[in-house]
Amino acid sequence: MNALAEKYAPQNINSIFLYTHEAHPAENYPHLSSMEQKFRHAHALREVYGVTRPILVDALDGACHRAYGSLPNMSWIFDRRGKIMYRATWTDVHSVEKTIADLLEVNKRRRNRELLTPFEVEKLDFREADREGFYKGLERNGPRAVKEFDEAFS
């Protein structure tokens, strides 16, 4: 997602990471109980995972995250007035890039004076299931994160 952000920034596409709550709290990164702790975890995300996009932090009660459905790793795309152009239950760089390319194409056609009107589409998209990478992340959180995930989905 960082590379995607850099690729499309020259075309006036902004990309941010919005820090929510700990989905898999454990020994190394426990559940949040203060904004100070939330900022510390957000800094750790930047340092450990190398997130280069601007990170913005939600309120401690997750007001923004909750209003958008509270899923742990969603992606959304907004236009400059806040209209929702895309929403996905999971973040996948290929899915986001396809959408950005489509939106830029629409803008190009409108500049060419084509009369276009929006309609809604629902479809399933597909992402690579990186089980190994996911478990590495859980292990980084602490042993309890692995145990609880296995128990929740066993």
Which residues in 5-34 contact other proteins (CB under 8 A)? 5, 11-26, 29-33
Q: Which residues are paired to 118 by β-bridges?
A: none
Report the residue from 52, 95, 135, 149 that binds other proteins according to the rule CB under 8 A.
149
What is the distance in angstroms between the CA of the first residue and the CA of the last residue of the chain? 30
Determine, following the binding rule CB under 8 A, whether residue 44 of this chain makes contact with other proteins. Answer: yes
Whole-number minimum distance, CB 113 to other proteins, in Å?
Answer: 18
Residue with tokens 């806040």: 82
User: Quick check: 124 binds other proteins (CB under 8 A)?
Assistant: no
| Window 51-80: residues binding other proteins (CB under 8 A) | 53-80
Nearer to other proteins, 66 or 109 (CB): 66
145 burial class (0-12, 13-18, 19+ CB within 10 angstroms)? buried
User: Which residues inside 77-106 make contact with other proteins, applying CB under 8 A?
Assistant: 77-87, 89, 91, 96, 100, 103
CB of 84 to other proteins, least distance (A): 5
Question: How many C-beta atoms surround the C-beta of residue 19 within 10 A?
Answer: 20
Applying CB under 8 A, among 107, 134, 136, 143 the residue interacting with other proteins is 107
**Contact of 16 with 53, CB cutoff 8 Å:** yes
The distance of closest approach from Cβ of residue 97 to other proteins in the complex, given in angstroms and rounded to an integer, is 10
Radius of gyration of the chain (CA): 18
Count the site residues for other proteins by CB under 8 A.
86
100: CB partners within 8 A, 6+ apart: 4, 8, 13, 77
Q: How far is the CB of 85 from other proteins (least distance, A)?
A: 7
